[in-house]
Amino acid sequence: MRFYTKTHHYYCGIDLHTRWMYLCILNPEGEILYHKNLKACPENFLKAVAPYRPDVVVAVECIFSWYWLADLCAEEGIPFVLGHALYMKAIHGGKAKNDKIDSRKIALLLRGGMVPQAYVYPPQMRATRDLLRRRIRLVSKRAELLGHIQNTNSQYNLLPFHKQIKYKRNREGVVEHFTDPMVQASIQTDLALIDFLSKQIDQLEQLILAQVKEHQPRAFYLLQSVPGIGEILALVILYEIHEIARFQSVQQFASYCRLVKCAHQSVDKTYGFSGSKMGNAHLKWAFSEAAVGFLRHNPPGQKLLAQLEKKHGKGKALTLLAHKLGRTVYFLLRREEVFDLNTFLAA
């Protein structure tokens, strides 16, 4: 966890919403200099902080509408701190809670150097990352529609499909597989949506692949040198990381990817684990998929998994392999080296 500890003459805490924002500006002694609810627009923000511009820092909790404020502060040269929503417990722990109280608490945390920082993703690659996340959502929706067809088939106790219907060439005769006209209409709807989503997904993939050649083509190539990481997983890992240099150690990177457990200990006793939801869910998914892909047509990788299963059990072995791949990707990007299987297995 990283805290913002720099000192300033003025500290501005903002409880930000889509249309409104509550500003609270404190001096180093903690006295309230400004405390008002304003419409969320650049003009109102700049007017409010204008008297304190020589040395003011702005903090806001990480919600979906922070993009415009971060970009505005960057353009105006105002220090901006993005607070990690899961760690900012002081905002949610009071007996009374409203926008006015929350904005003051954010300003107090900022003044005391206790704002846990989230990463302010720069605008150059932010839109592409969001588009990639949108693609993942569309793929999930397409899988849901394919699952509905299979479930309907099982619901009526019909013979299973001879071929995988996820491929368009194998969907001929799927509607006629059902006899009831209403069921046929339902399946026809699923197939129409699947075809439409597939077309949209293909277009998004081509657009994103063109963008990555402008952003980080070298890193994109290096990631694909790892067995099990293809174009899509490489895109997800690349855009979710942005710059590997922002992680000071491989342990910090593994924690961000949700590849490690965090123990609660006191007086040499362990009271369980927590923090499984803290980190980047997209990277967790990517490395989990990469671990499965790493084993495909890879006898040395399968031998490594067997060794892990023998030592740690079958349930934990695949998780350890994903962790090992995550550490490998960290050093691969830091050193800008192509993946080497012999080094990977020997480590």
Q: How far is CA 124 from the centre of its chain?
A: 17
pLDDT of residue 90: 67
Judged against a pLDDT cut of 90, whether residue 150 lies above it is answered with yes
pLDDT of residue 315: 84
- pLDDT tens column, 68-88: 999 999 999 999 999 998 787
Choose between 95 and 39: higher pLDDT. 39
Query: Model-level pTM?
Result: 0.89
pLDDT of residue 200: 97
pLDDT of residue 280: 94
Task: Name the average pLDDT for the chain.
Answer: 93
Given CA atoms 262, 236, 224, 248 in this order, what sign does their dihedral have? negative
Please give the average per-residue pLDDT across 302-308, as a whole number: 95
Quick one: 253 exposed, middle or buried, by C-beta within 10 A (0-12, 13-18, 19+)?
A: buried
Judged against a pLDDT cut of 90, whether residue 263 lies above it is answered with no
244 confidence band (pLDDT: 50, 70, 90): very high
What share of the chain has pLDDT > 70, as a percent?
99
- pLDDT tens column, 319-330: 999 999 999 999
pLDDT of residue 18: 93
261 confidence band (pLDDT: 50, 70, 90): confident
Please give the average per-residue pLDDT across 31-59, as a whole number: 96
d(Cα 179, Cα 186) in Å, to the nearest integer? 12
> At 187, which amino acid appears?
I
Using alpha carbons, select from 131, 127, 118 the residue that is nearest to residue 256: 118
Go through 99-136 and write b for each residue having 16 or more CB atoms within 10 A of its CB, e for each that does not.
bebbbbbbbbbbbeeebbbbbbbeeebbebbeebeebe
Q: Count of CB atoms within 10 A of residue 184's CB?
A: 15
d(Cα 191, Cα 37) in Å, to the nearest integer? 50
**Strand order of the sheet with strand 32-39?**
32-39, 20-26, 10-16, 56-61, 80-83
Please give the average per-residue pLDDT across 120-125, as a whole number: 94
Please give the average per-residue pLDDT across 265-274, as a whole number: 75
Please say whether the beta carbons of 148 and 190 come within 8 A.
yes
d(Cα 290, Cα 288) in Å, to the nearest integer? 5
Please give the average per-residue pLDDT across 267-293, as a whole number: 86
